[in-house]
Amino acid sequence: MVDFLVVENLSKNFGGFAALSAVSFKLERGEILGLVGPNGAGKTTLFNIITGFLRPSGGSIHFQGRDITHLSPHEIARMGIVRTFQLNKIFLHLTVEENIRIGCYLHEKGGPRRFFFGAPSEEKEYLDEKVRKIIHLIGFEGFKKKMAEDLPYGDQKLLSIGISLGAEPTLLLLDEPFAGMNPVETGRCVSLLRRIMEQGTTLFLVDHNMRAVMGFCDRIMVLNFGKKIAEGKPAEIRENPEVITSYLGSIKVA
Amino acid sequence: MKSGRGSLLFSLLLTAIFCVLPLIFTSNLIQHLLVIIGITVILVLSLDMILGHAGLISLGHAGFMGLGAYTCVLLVMKYKMPFLVSLLSGAGFAGLLGGLIGYPSLRLRGHYFVIVTFICGIIFTLFFTNLVSITKGPMGIPGIPSPQITIVPGWSISFKSKAAYYYLVLAFIFLTIYVKHQLYHSRMGKALLAIREDEDLGRSLGINTHAYKVGIFMISTAFAGLAGGLYAHYIRFIGPDSFTMLHSFYFFVMNLIGGSGTIAGPVIGALLLTVIDELSQLLQPALARILFGVFLILVILYMPKGIMGLKTLWVSQMKGE
């Protein structure tokens, strides 16, 4: 069986600054991996490199047996890896429906026939159904015609997840999905992610909400100063002294 | 873009009106205005392909217009090639150069791309001025013949009269509108929408944003080149001063004022400002520049979506939203 996601010795230097140093880990298909660490630990850098938005200084990434280290973001998306952004990205000036419809871009057919005669009606129906299913999944039936910019922040974050579902990701990377959400919204988001996981998508998420991450993820990886300092089940991570130190600073005993 | 039977009827009515305009207005001045407006409409529509669809600003569009103009004129006058072939070759060459320039520069962040287009426009003007052996330099190329299109051997149409030229231009306007409309509804149109609204989000969804940006830029510059060829054979004289940075800026302002991202917007913008420009040539040339500036300020302050934006606002207020 081919490994799902393998990251080996990944490094990233910005000038003299080592944002990531020799980070290695594996992700199993179907599991939920959480990535935590203090601010500046290199979590978003890692996401950016895996999804092609940033070039690594060294190391490699293999997805389902294929080397994706130097692919561009759109190529990686086509292989089934989609990500959300820390600073939430949605198409603000379009409706909820239109947003998700653009998410389904990979299922639109182009070409000269489409140019002259428009999209075939089967494709329109297929996409309409797809959009309808996603809207139902994220629970936005009541306001599918609402402008994205008019949604409350928590809903905008759910919308960005909905958009990414249009691309039918095998692996979904979520950069701080719970950030800025109150407990109710966080609960809704966790339920949504669980439903997505049940539909067969593997999840890899970064967040600072320890409770949500510990309660939701199968395994957790901890980064600090660009290095992986711990990896394991939530219970193990909670007890790990190095992890505690990295968040709280070293405890001096007088 | 509206759909529906009412809108279709409206478009057909407008088309009919545009077709009979030169028959109604037979004065030389108005027919001249119609041709110039027509050519400008093609230019602004082409600029809107990148500005309205993709959200990219180009301040060098007149340079590509000039490229198409010089190419077309040289093919006709020096190499005796048929008009339509030369016209389309001029457009093709402008498109090709758009691709060569766009490929590296569209990898840059938006602001830098604007600067590149601006510099391009200036470089094109320098080429037109200094490649004297090809372009006859600052003296320009006079005596450009009126187009003659051979339909079948033995029967050709000559476009000497202003009215005839108007119909030639009108045909190409319909072509431009058709292409723009089809593009908007194509898969490329969806991709460009994503690029305009949030490029990185588009990339994360599998859209090859760079390829689409280069593609639309090439199509846009090709149509600018087409307009250039039409311009050259109408005015029958071109020189480096026909395609300056000022002209690029004018087209940009027309697009903004009319409203980018629509078909009516560029038409209205081109119409309004060309009329102002041509009329003020007769009265007080500086007036045009002043009015353009005033309009630009008004647009920036009060109607960022241009005249078409006002219309949308008015419609939604009528509906009681």
- Partner-chain contact A163 B188, CB within 8 Å: no
Is the four-CA dihedral A179, A184, A190, A191 of positive or negative sign?
negative
- Partner-chain contact A163 B186, CB within 8 Å: no
Residue in chain A nearest B208 by alpha carbon: A74
B261 interfacial to chain A (CB closer than 8 Å)? no
**Which pLDDT value is given to residue A254?**
45
Report phi then psi at A176, rounded to 5. Answer: 55, 60
- pLDDT tens string A91-115: 999 999 999 999 999 998 888 888 8
Instruction: Look up the ipTM and state it.
Output: 0.93
Domain around A89: 5-248
- pLDDT tens string B116-142: 999 999 999 999 999 988 888 888 899
DSSP E strands, B73-180: 148-152, 155-158
In a domain, A254, yes or no: no
Residue to substitute from B193, B195, B200, B201, interface A, most A β-carbons within 10 A: B201
Query: Any alpha helices (H) in A64-145, and if so which ranges?
Result: 73-78, 96-103, 112-117, 121-138
CATH number of the domain that residue A70 is part of: 3.40.50.300
In a domain, A209, yes or no: yes
Q: Give A-chain residues touching B206 at CB under 8 angstroms.
A: 74, 77-78, 105-106, 167
B206 interfacial to chain A (CB closer than 8 Å)? yes
Q: Give B-chain residues touching A123 at CB under 8 angstroms.
A: none
Q: How many CB atoms lie within 10 A of CB A135?
A: 19
Residue with tokens 């494709």: A123
Which of B261, B284, B260, B289 is closest to B273 using CA atoms? B289
- Partner-chain contact A106 B193, CB within 8 Å: no
**Which pLDDT value is given to residue A249?**
62
Q: Give B-chain residues touching A167 at CB under 8 angstroms.
A: 205-206
- pTM over the 0.90 mark: yes
**Which pLDDT value is given to residue B285?**
76
Phi-psi region of B158 (alpha: psi -120 to 50; beta: other; left: phi over 0): beta
B207 interfacial to chain A (CB closer than 8 Å)? yes
Q: Give A-chain residues touching B213 at CB under 8 angstroms.
A: none
**Which pLDDT value is given to residue A3?**
86
DSSP string over B259-279? -TTSSHHHHHHHHHHHHHHHH
- pLDDT tens string B26-63: 888 889 999 999 999 999 999 999 999 999 999 999 99
Q: How many CB atoms lie within 10 A of CB A215?
A: 11
The domain locations on chain B are 34-244
Residue in chain B nearest A76 by alpha carbon: B206
Domain count within chain A = 1
How many whole angstroms separate alpha carbon B235 and alpha carbon B238? 8
In a domain, A165, yes or no: yes
Report phi then psi at A60, rounded to 5. Answer: -145, 160
How many whole angstroms separate alpha carbon A45 and alpha carbon A62? 17
